[in-house]
Chain A
Amino acid sequence: MNKVYSLHDAIAKFVEDGDSISFGGFTTNRKPYAAVHEILRQGQKDFIAYAGPAGGDWDLLIGEGRVKAYINCYTANSGVTNVSRRFRAAIEKGELIYEDYSQDVVMLMLHAASLGLPFLPVKLMMGSSLTDMWGISKEVRKTIEKLPDDKFVYMDNPFAPGEKVVAVPVPKLDTAIIHAQQASPDGTCRIIGDEFHDVDIIVAARKAIVICDELVENDQIRQEPTKNSIPPFCVDAVVHCPYGAHPTQLYGYYDYDNAYMKEYDVASKTPEAFKEFVEKYVYGVKDHEEYVNLFSTMRMVNLKEVPGYGYATKNIGKEG
């Protein structure tokens, strides 16, 4: 079965207003930016965001007012922007409905979702303000259909009476989008390097989009099934987008684009500069191809991973 879609058609068909949605990747690694840009262009909004270890991907969507409720554990382009600026501004101005969990709890929640568990008991967040303070009150939660009424509940460990544990709800994901190195037209997907929570969200979500840098023949990708991450029937759409994770890293392929990260760091400081930035990189281009064409060939070539290093470096061949 052929599941290959254009980026436009995949986003138009599988991303809807109000979706409970999660992206793969980790802050500045393997983030599905091409999909984020296309969502921004098409206008979908009111997302319930299970953001996980987020960076500029969710900062762009927050900055453009597309998020209804933001489930946060960490939002930064680490090393360049130590707190994502539109995220920060939205909270400081009271413009974002958000909830804080620890990263461990969000990742375990998404894993539990992939396992089909009814709820999840943890011993995390105990004694901290992560349990004492609810970003989204029970009253507000009741008005948002896709959010559980409770952030968590304390319960007694049924197998060790007297031991208190924290029971957290397991999210019901509508949509998952990941960026993988390779996929084949039938939906078989290969993630190279750390899979992060990507397999979990693809299995858990009702609608699953895999963006890939390389589209590989079905027979070819099955020659080494040990290296494959996701079976075809868990995937609804495969989209071929070379450099679709730019400006973030793609292990085995390319490094983060430091110049972009620095430009975004400055641009995201004010609403005005942010508007100019998204006009230039998102709304001002028709599609991903035009986006990639904004950058010079040598800029992209210089991001290429140096074999043996795992990232772009100028240090190869130097003494010392």
Chain B
Amino acid sequence: MADYTNYTNKEMQAVTIGKVIEDGQVVIVGTGLPLIGAALAKRIFAPSCNLIVESGLMDCAPIEVPRSVGDNRLMAHCAVQWPNVRFIGYEACEWQHNRGRLIAFIGGAQINPYGDVNSTCIGNYYAPKTRFTGSGGANGIATYSNTVIMMQHEKRRFIEQIDYITSPGWMGGPDGRAKAGLPSNVGPQAIVTDRGVMKFDSETKRMYLAGYYETSSIEEIVENTGFEIDTSRAELIAPPSPDVIRIIREEIDPGEAFIKRPVE
């Protein structure tokens, strides 16, 4: 019998992502962990959610893990194969109708206390130490929809001043988005890392620690966060059931495309 109690931080992160998704939501997913989380949501936590991707594929139900948002694994078994511009229009119209159904997952290399995210470069934009892909769909998604941000929880990534704002968060406070001309009734809702969950204070829009895992601790999170973070509201998040871990390993990502199993 395989052991499904020995879950990893990454698996915990994927499960936590899955639990963020609610029934009836339209979920914009990317590849990697969000897709694993969303696949879990669709199977267990929120079966009536609908998955869409920025390439324009609508109501996806992949059987095998896709590599990219344009993958045939998403293109098959979806409701409609829209061109990307229709996805963009749909996203903007959802915001105009203020239906509150859209939730999106984005990732990044750096984040500041107000949830602005950098996925473009480390260092000077014109002579970067490390260059990444660039925005992809993230900027548009962060403009028009509520987001959940996935990060690796490291001190060099959670910093006061990020090198480039690819995807706007709360932009320095409660009126930051409005001042920048951005839709202000949407924005980042949470950050899910391999160590815990951060949310944003409803008054100040500054990040606080909302939850930590059995495999991490408040001290560890503070130590790995490069700015001051309020921990007074932090709660322990319950570990995943062995059955959920079994579904990740045996059904969703058996090829370990995005989540490696612990070494026995």
Closest partner residue, chain B, to A261 (CB atom): B67
**B-contact 0/1 string along A165-184, CB 8 Å cutoff:** 10000000000000000000
In the complex, what distance in Å separates the CA atom of A104 from the CA atom of B138? 9
- How many whole Å from B194's CB to the nearest CB in chain A? 17
Q: Identify which of B56, B127, B134 gathers the most chain A CB atoms within 10 Å of its CB.
A: B134
The reply to whether A197 and B143 form a contact with Cβ atoms under 8 Å apart is: no
- Taking CB atoms, residues of chain B closer than 8 Å to A128 are 139, 165-168
Binds B, one of A35-43, A88-96, A217-225, A263-271: A88-96
The reply to whether A92 and B31 form a contact with Cβ atoms under 8 Å apart is: no
In the complex, what distance in Å separates the CA atom of A311 from the CA atom of B227? 46
| Contact of A193 with B75 at beta-carbon distance under 8 Å, contacts A73-B136, A91-B128 already known | yes
Binds B, one of A4-12, A25-33, A236-244, A280-288: A25-33
- Taking CB atoms, residues of chain B closer than 8 Å to A193 are 72, 75, 81
Interface residues of B in 150-165 (CB under 8 A from A): 164-165
The reply to whether A107 and B70 form a contact with Cβ atoms under 8 Å apart is: no
The reply to whether A197 and B83 form a contact with Cβ atoms under 8 Å apart is: yes
- Taking CB atoms, residues of chain A closer than 8 Å to B125 are 129, 133, 135
Q: Is B68 an interface residue (CB 8 A)?
A: yes
**A-contact 0/1 string along B229-256, CB 8 Å cutoff:** 0000000000000000000000000000
- How many whole Å from A316's CB to the nearest CB in chain B? 11
Closest partner residue, chain B, to A27 (CB atom): B68
Q: Is B182 an interface residue (CB 8 A)?
A: yes
Q: Is B137 an interface residue (CB 8 A)?
A: yes
Q: Is A72 an interface residue (CB 8 A)?
A: yes
Point out the residue from B73, B130, B134, B181 that lies within 8 Å of A100, measured CB to CB. B134
The reply to whether B63 and A196 form a contact with Cβ atoms under 8 Å apart is: no
Q: Is A274 an interface residue (CB 8 A)?
A: no
The reply to whether A309 and B164 form a contact with Cβ atoms under 8 Å apart is: no
Q: Is A294 an interface residue (CB 8 A)?
A: no
Q: Is A125 an interface residue (CB 8 A)?
A: yes
- Taking CB atoms, residues of chain A closer than 8 Å to B138 are 102
Interface residues of A in 144-172 (CB under 8 A from B): 163-165
- Taking CB atoms, residues of chain A closer than 8 Å to B177 are 127
The reply to whether B139 and A29 form a contact with Cβ atoms under 8 Å apart is: no
Closest partner residue, chain A, to B176 (CB atom): A127
In the complex, what distance in Å separates the CA atom of A197 from the CA atom of B54? 12
The reply to whether A75 and B133 form a contact with Cβ atoms under 8 Å apart is: yes
The reply to whether A103 and B164 form a contact with Cβ atoms under 8 Å apart is: no
The reply to whether A251 and B67 form a contact with Cβ atoms under 8 Å apart is: no
- Taking CB atoms, residues of chain B closer than 8 Å to A75 are 133-134
Point out the residue from A26, A83, A127, A310 that lies within 8 Å of B165, measured CB to CB. A127
- Taking CB atoms, residues of chain A closer than 8 Å to B81 are 193-195
- Taking CB atoms, residues of chain A closer than 8 Å to B215 are none
- Taking CB atoms, residues of chain B closer than 8 Å to A123 are 92, 143, 181-183
Chain A contact residue count (CB 8 A cutoff): 62
In the complex, what distance in Å separates the CA atom of A73 from the CA atom of B133? 7
- Taking CB atoms, residues of chain B closer than 8 Å to A92 are 127-131
Interface residues of B in 167-194 (CB under 8 A from A): 167-168, 171, 176-177, 180-183
Closest partner residue, chain B, to A195 (CB atom): B83
Point out the residue from B54, B120, B181 that lies within 8 Å of A103, measured CB to CB. B54
In the complex, what distance in Å separates the CA atom of A76 from the CA atom of B138? 15
Q: Is B88 an interface residue (CB 8 A)?
A: yes
In the complex, what distance in Å separates the CA atom of A39 from the CA atom of B143? 38
- Taking CB atoms, residues of chain B closer than 8 Å to A23 are none
**A-contact 0/1 string along B68-95, CB 8 Å cutoff:** 1111110111000111110010001000
Q: Is A78 an interface residue (CB 8 A)?
A: yes
The reply to whether B128 and A255 form a contact with Cβ atoms under 8 Å apart is: no
The reply to whether A79 and B181 form a contact with Cβ atoms under 8 Å apart is: no
In the complex, what distance in Å separates the CA atom of A76 from the CA atom of B69? 12
The reply to whether B135 and A311 form a contact with Cβ atoms under 8 Å apart is: no
**B-contact 0/1 string along A278-315, CB 8 Å cutoff:** 00000000000000000000000000010001110101
In the complex, what distance in Å separates the CA atom of A94 from the CA atom of B131? 11
The reply to whether A305 and B85 form a contact with Cβ atoms under 8 Å apart is: no
- How many whole Å from B64's CB to the nearest CB in chain A? 6
Q: Is B33 an interface residue (CB 8 A)?
A: no
The reply to whether B64 and A194 form a contact with Cβ atoms under 8 Å apart is: no
The reply to whether B84 and A196 form a contact with Cβ atoms under 8 Å apart is: yes
Q: Is A108 an interface residue (CB 8 A)?
A: yes
The reply to whether B135 and A79 form a contact with Cβ atoms under 8 Å apart is: no
In the complex, what distance in Å separates the CA atom of A76 from the CA atom of B55? 14
- How many whole Å from A87's CB to the nearest CB in chain B? 8
The reply to whether A249 and B71 form a contact with Cβ atoms under 8 Å apart is: yes
Q: Is B57 an interface residue (CB 8 A)?
A: yes
Q: Is A80 an interface residue (CB 8 A)?
A: yes
Pairs A–B under 8 Å by Cβ, sample size 30: A29-B68, A73-B136, A76-B68, A76-B133, A78-B31, A78-B67, A79-B68, A79-B257, A91-B128, A92-B127, A100-B134, A102-B137, A103-B54, A103-B135, A103-B136, A103-B137, A126-B181, A127-B181, A132-B165, A193-B81, A194-B57, A194-B70, A194-B82, A195-B83, A196-B70, A200-B85, A249-B72, A309-B76, A315-B63, A315-B64
Residues of A at the B interface (CB closer than 8 Å) are 25-29, 53, 72-76, 78-80, 82-84, 87-88, 91-92, 94, 100-105, 107-108, 111, 123-130, 132-133, 135, 163-165, 193-197, 199-200, 249, 251, 255-256, 305, 309-311, 313, 315
